[in-house]
Amino acid sequence: MGPIPLQRDTVQRPGTATGAGRSPGPRPASRTSLPGIPLAPSAARRFVRAALAEWTGLGVPAAVGFSDRLADDAVTVTNELVTNAVVHAGTTVDLVLRLEEEGGDEPSAALVLEVTDHHPARPVGADEPGAAAGDPARTETEAPVGLPDPAEYGRGLQLVATLAESWGITYRTGLKTVWARLPVDGWSDPPAPPDRDALRRGLRAAEILAPAARRTERDDTVWDSRGAPAFLAEASDLLAGQLDEDLVAAIAGQLLVPRLADWCAIWLEAEGGGPGAEPRLARVWHSDETGTEPLRTALEREPLRLPAGVGSGPVPVPVPWPAHPAGEAPHPGGRDGAALAFRITAAGRALGTVLVGREGVARVPEAVASLIEDFVRRLGLAVGAARAYTRQATISRILQRGLLPSKVAEIPGVTSSLVYEPSDDGVVGGDFYDIFPCPGDRWCFVLGDVQGSGPEAAVVTGLARPWLRLLSREGFGVGEVLDRLNRLLLDDAMEAAEAAALMVAAAGGQQLHDGSQSRFLSLLYGEVVPLPGGGVRCTVASAGHPLPLLLCPDGSVRPAAEPQVLLGVVEDVAYESQTFDLAPGDTLLCVTDGVTERRSGPLMFDDGDGLARVLAGCAGLPADATADRIRRAVHEFAERPPDDDVALLVLHAD
């Protein structure tokens, strides 16, 4: 594959001094979009160097401060952020490179890099709330980010934090932007005229969490019959799109400050905690970055507790710090003012507390207090939904670990490679696999897919895997194993599966379909016997499953089984198997429908024998390389990540 073509859009922004005459002029910004594939980081590196060279050639004033070190740092940071977005999100990556110039007594300029992916539910390497390096221009809109644990995430983001003056994350509906700011040394310029249009911002969705170069001026008159509903609608959309309660709290803080308050704090109650459980200070936010830590210190002395009888309305409370001495200028986060507390509730349960404050006023306007109360109701719904999702995801992870083998057997004379990627939607997937030895110098392999997902599918998987092992070790042939498994799926054992699924669902809050619904199972089951002269003899049967493909060293590909009906559909079925030799150099590929039915618009991955074409290009590759090439082809087929489990098994005869 050749280099990724780049389309660079240079945007001119008003308000920057330029040229020898130091008159107001354009502020350059360049942007491009890259596919979420392994070639994206190298294309991003080329893009950054080209943009810097272009600005230098155009005579942009700040370009005189460009150095080789700045270019190298910008390329390194871009590489790390784009790589992170490709690995963790797998979507199209938007890259923006721009210059921000600040006037004043000590004029300065900075190079700002923004990398945006389209899958905000997937975390950046260190999405934990924590102290971030300061960037006063961004404290009103950005989520601070702490350093990652190098042992767990590697050193990429730690490198970004080292090279950048500041960095962080911005969350918008459907988007997540990781930004980094690199100072431009050796340049100065007189202050540019103020951009008055930027001092007043409406409530458009793009501006709710958009990066702002200057502090937003608060105007309580906008909360009229139109402004408040627009704000609440956008807030509901942003909060409802998150499935982590800490991220919900972080976004809530960004929405409240500075639009409705100068500072805020959010405590969350421990789930399942008793009356003596301490609430957790999940988020502290201040419109002045230097006030955040003093505010946090004051709040950590004693958690805010509201009386038991307090409802969801505002409760006036003292500001959480002592009054400053007369004649002494208060430090940020220690100014006098007014504070209101609101209880976070959902379904009649107290989930936490929101404390908001304004500095230099005796009271918070009634209209603003009412708007915050409505906002906190939506915050409660979002926290409750995030906790329900977390409970379900925890149960799913526990079930998933119990349903899959801790390790798969090694087959003599065969190298195997397995790829299993659950769809990561918080419920147990229906795909499962296994490779295990059997008496008589036989090895059996299984790749299955239960219809649907969640607890019902988990119970069927939990029954099918041990049944398969038991039947295989009893000496039944491949077709006979499927015959008996089909009858087991149709008899009274399925009633036990449905009952168990209902119990699991009740614990996790998962809504089930009608309990009488059948649970169909597609299955590819095979048996391998090593041959004395090398290679192995395979016997396989496919029950409603994508057919296995046999790849020969000359690049030819053919199906290795015949299609047959799903298991658990009809009783009178006699399943048949096919036997063939896997000679040295031959490869057998087995996949689930998460591979063949991967969609890109109206197209599917296997349309026109797409899977066979990709496999044909793997001739001569070992099992691991073949599995990795198929996996990458599946991911690159569409911009969005797969929405179904992806499982594939490669057997390569040595």
Which long-range CB contacts under 8 A does 325-331 form with residues at least 24 apart? Answer: 331/290, 331/291, 331/294
User: How crowded is residue 461: how many other Cβ atoms within 10 Å of its Cβ?
Assistant: 25
Q: Which residue has the tokens 């006979």?
A: 480
Q: Is the CB of residue 599 less than 8 Å from the CB of residue 638?
A: yes
Phi and psi at 395, nearest 5°, equal -60, -40
Q: Compare 117 and 393 and report the one with higher pLDDT.
A: 117
pLDDT of residue 174: 67
**pLDDT range class, residue 193, cuts 50, 70, 90:** very low
Q: If we measure between CA atoms, which residue out of 63, 60, 61, 48 comes closest to residue 113?
A: 48
User: How crowded is residue 383: how many other Cβ atoms within 10 Å of its Cβ?
Assistant: 27
Q: Is the CB of residue 539 less than 8 Å from the CB of residue 450?
A: no
| Distances 6 to 27, 40, 321 between C-alpha atoms, Å | 21, 10, 54
The predicted model gives 223-247 an average pLDDT of 80
**pLDDT range class, residue 153, cuts 50, 70, 90:** very low
Question: Of 138-152, 215-229, 282-296, 458-472, which range is least confident?
Answer: 138-152
Phi and psi at 69, nearest 5°, equal -65, -45
Q: Compare 581 and 304 and report the one with higher pLDDT.
A: 581
| Predicted confidence (pLDDT) per residue in 360-371, tens digit | 888 899 889 999
Separation of CA 558 from chain center: 37
3-state secondary structure 98-164: EEEEECCCCCEEEEEEEEEECCCCCCCCCCCCCCCCCCCCCCCCCECCCCCCHHHHCCHHHHHHHHC
Flag whether the pTM goes above 0.75: no
Alpha carbon distance 80, 76 (integer Å)? 6
What share of the chain in percent tops pLDDT 90?
26
User: How crowded is residue 650: how many other Cβ atoms within 10 Å of its Cβ?
Assistant: 28
Sheet harboring 166-172: ordered strands across?
Answer: 9-18, 23-34, 93-102, 108-117, 175-184, 166-172
Q: Compare 358 and 87 and report the one with higher pLDDT.
A: 358
pLDDT of residue 68: 82
Q: Is the CB of residue 345 less than 8 Å from the CB of residue 355?
A: no
Instruction: Work out whether the CA dihedral 290, 293, 297, 299 comes out positive or negative.
Output: positive
pLDDT of residue 16: 32
Q: What is the largest CA-CA distance in the chain?
A: 96
Query: Is the pLDDT reported for residue 217 higher than 60?
Result: no
Alpha carbon distance 32, 38 (integer Å)? 16
Q: Are strands 175-184 and 166-172 parallel, antiparallel or unpaired?
A: antiparallel
SS3 state of residue 232: helix
DSSP string, 494-549: HHHHHHHHHHHHHHHT-----TT----EEEEEEEEEE-TTSSEEEEEEEESSPPPE
Q: Which residues pair with 445 in a beta bridge?
A: 435, 526
Element (H or E) spanning 31, and its range? strand 23-34
Query: Is the pLDDT reported for residue 92 higher than 70?
Result: yes
| Predicted confidence (pLDDT) per residue in 442-483, tens digit | 999 999 888 766 666 666 777 788 888 899 988 899 999 999
**pLDDT range class, residue 590, cuts 50, 70, 90:** very high
Phi and psi at 341, nearest 5°, equal -115, 145
The predicted model gives 199-225 an average pLDDT of 45
The residues, ordered by sequence, that sit 6+ positions from 156 with a Cβ below 8 Å of its Cβ are: 80, 83, 84, 125, 148
| Predicted confidence (pLDDT) per residue in 494-513, tens digit | 555 555 555 555 544 444 44
Of the ranges 135-149, 276-290, 599-613, which is most confident?
599-613
Alpha carbon distance 35, 636 (integer Å)? 8
The residues, ordered by sequence, that sit 6+ positions from 148 with a Cβ below 8 Å of its Cβ are: 125, 126, 154, 156, 157, 158
Alpha carbon distance 58, 3 (integer Å)? 26
Q: Which residue has the tokens 């639009």?
A: 259
Q: If we measure between CA atoms, which residue out of 150, 152, 148, 153 comes closest to residue 169?
A: 148
Of the ranges 32-36, 186-190, 207-211, 452-456, which is most confident?
32-36
Q: What is the dihedral of CA 502, 507, 513, 514, to 10 degrees?
A: 30
Mean of the per-residue pLDDT values for the chain?
76
473: amino acid identity, one letter: R
Query: Is the pLDDT reported for residue 115 higher than 60?
Result: yes
Ordered alpha helix ranges (H), 349-454: 366-403
Query: Is the pLDDT reported for residue 148 higher than 70?
Result: no
| Predicted confidence (pLDDT) per residue in 322-362, tens digit | 655 555 555 555 567 899 999 999 888 888 999 999 988 88
Alpha carbon distance 446, 433 (integer Å)? 5
SS3 state of residue 314: coil
Residue 605 in tokens: 């991955």
SS3 state of residue 256: helix
Separation of CA 300 from chain center: 31
The residues, ordered by sequence, that sit 6+ positions from 189 with a Cβ below 8 Å of its Cβ are: 17, 22, 61, 62, 101, 103, 107, 109
Of the ranges 121-125, 269-273, 348-352, 460-464, which is most confident?
348-352
| Predicted confidence (pLDDT) per residue in 547-582, tens digit | 999 999 999 999 999 999 998 888 888 999 999 999
pLDDT of residue 121: 53
| Predicted confidence (pLDDT) per residue in 42-74, tens digit | 888 888 988 888 888 777 777 777 888 888 889
Alpha carbon distance 36, 39 (integer Å)? 8
Residue 448 in tokens: 């299955």
